[in-house]
Amino acid sequence: MISKPILQDLPIDLDVQRLPRHIAVIMDGNGRWANQRGLPRIMGHRRGVDTLKSLLRCCKDWGIESLTAYAFSTENWGRPLEEVDFLMTLFERVLRRELDEMMTEGVQIRFVGDLKALPPSLQSEIQRAVDATQANKGIQFVVATNYGGRWEILQACRQIATQVQQGKLAVEEIDESLFASHLYTAGICDPDLLIRTSGEMRVSNFLLWQVAYAELYVTDTLWPDFDRAELHQALQNYQQRHRRFGRI
C-alpha cells in the first residue's frame, strides 16, 4: 500500500484531484541530444539518467503514485555492442549509487521485463534494490528493462494455457483481471498518462495491454531536456482531456 504523499510545489493551475495516478515515459532522443552537441551518444544516456532522477523527484513532490520508465526494450539489443554494454553498466552503477537516496525518499523500485537475459551482476544489483525498497511507502518507480509488450502478452498466454492444460484453470475463468495478473506489471495500476519525448508518434512495444485507456502525450523535446516545466505542460494537457473509457 502506497502512502498518501505530502504535496510540494504543485503548480497552482493543476487540479490535485485530477492528477494521473501513474505516468509512464518513453525516454526517447538521448542519442540525438548528444549528436546535436557533437558528443558521443552515451553522453545523452548519461544526461538521460539525470533527467529521470529529476522527473522521479518531481512526480514524488506532486503526488504521482507510480512512474514507469522504458529503460531498455527487447529490440535495444540490436544496438552496437559498446552502447549496449555502456547501458548495462550505467543501469548497474546508477542503482548502486542511488539506493541510499531511494531509501531516504521512500521510493519503492520494481523492474518489469525479462531480467534473466541481463548480465548477472546487473541482476544482483536489481534484486538488491528491489528487496531493499520493497517495504517503502513512497512513490513506486517501475523500470522496464529488456521489456517487450508482445513478449509479455505471449508469456502470459503460455502461463494461462499451461494452467488450463493441467486442469488448474477453466477457460471461463480467464478474464481481464486474471490475464493482468500474469503480466510483469501484476499489482501495478495501469498508466493514466503515457509521455513520449522526441516527437515520435509510436508506442514501440511498450505496455501494450496496460495503455489501453492511457492518454498519450508526445513532445518534440528530447529526453535529456525534459524538465519540470515540460512535465507541468504534459499535466496541463492531460487535465484538459475528457477521459471516457469508451463511454460517451
What are the residue numbers of the active site? 28, 76
Instruction: Specify the residue for cell string 525534459.
Output: 226
Nearer to ligand FPP, 83 or 190 (CB): 83
- Nearest CA to 136 among 66, 52, 69, 53? 66
Span interacting with ligand FPP, options 14-22, 56-64, 90-98, 148-156, rule CB under 6 A: 90-98
Judged by CB under 6 A, how many residues of this single chain contact ligand FPP?
Answer: 18
Q: Does 52 bind ligand FPP (CB under 6 A)?
A: yes
Nearer to ligand FPP, 62 or 91 (CB): 91
Q: Does 110 bind ligand FPP (CB under 6 A)?
A: no
Residue 95 in contact with residue 129, Cβ under 8 Å?
yes
Nearer to ligand FPP, 55 or 156 (CB): 55
98 annotated among ligand-binding-site residues: no
Residue whose C-beta lies closest to ligand FPP: 31
Nearer to ligand FPP, 52 or 214 (CB): 52
Instruction: Specify the residue for cell string 504534459.
Output: 234
Q: Which of 71, 129, 160, 214 binds ligand FPP (CB under 6 A)?
A: 71
66 annotated among ligand-binding-site residues: no
Q: Which of 24, 25, 27, 56 binds ligand FPP (CB under 6 A)?
A: 27
68 annotated among ligand-binding-site residues: no
> In Å, how far are 58, 193, 212 from 65, measured between CA atoms?
11, 12, 19
Q: In what order do the strands lie in the sheet with 140-147?
A: 108-112, 140-147, 66-73, 22-26, 193-196, 215-218
- Nearest CA to 72 among 60, 83, 59? 83
Q: Does 219 bind ligand FPP (CB under 6 A)?
A: no
The four Cα atoms 220, 192, 130, 174 give a dihedral, to 10 degrees, of: -130
| DSSP SS3 for 124 | helix
Instruction: Specify the residue for cell string 529490440.
Output: 75
Q: Which of 19, 23, 56, 69 binds ligand FPP (CB under 6 A)?
A: 69
CA distance 34 to 71: 17
Instruction: Give the footprint of ligand FPP on residues 119-178 (CB under 6 A).
Output: 143
Span interacting with ligand FPP, options 30-38, 161-169, 172-180, 212-220, rule CB under 6 A: 30-38
56: left (phi over 0), alpha (psi -120 to 50) or beta: alpha
Q: Does 30 bind ligand FPP (CB under 6 A)?
A: yes
> In Å, how far are 33, 52, 116, 147, 148 from 85, measured between CA atoms?
20, 20, 16, 17, 19
Instruction: Give the footprint of ligand FPP on residues 226-245 (CB under 6 A).
Output: none
29 annotated among ligand-binding-site residues: yes
Residues of this chain that bind ligand FPP (CB under 6 A): 27-32, 45, 48-49, 52, 69, 71, 76, 91, 94-95, 143, 198
Q: Which residues are annotated as a binding site for Mg(2+)?
A: 28, 215
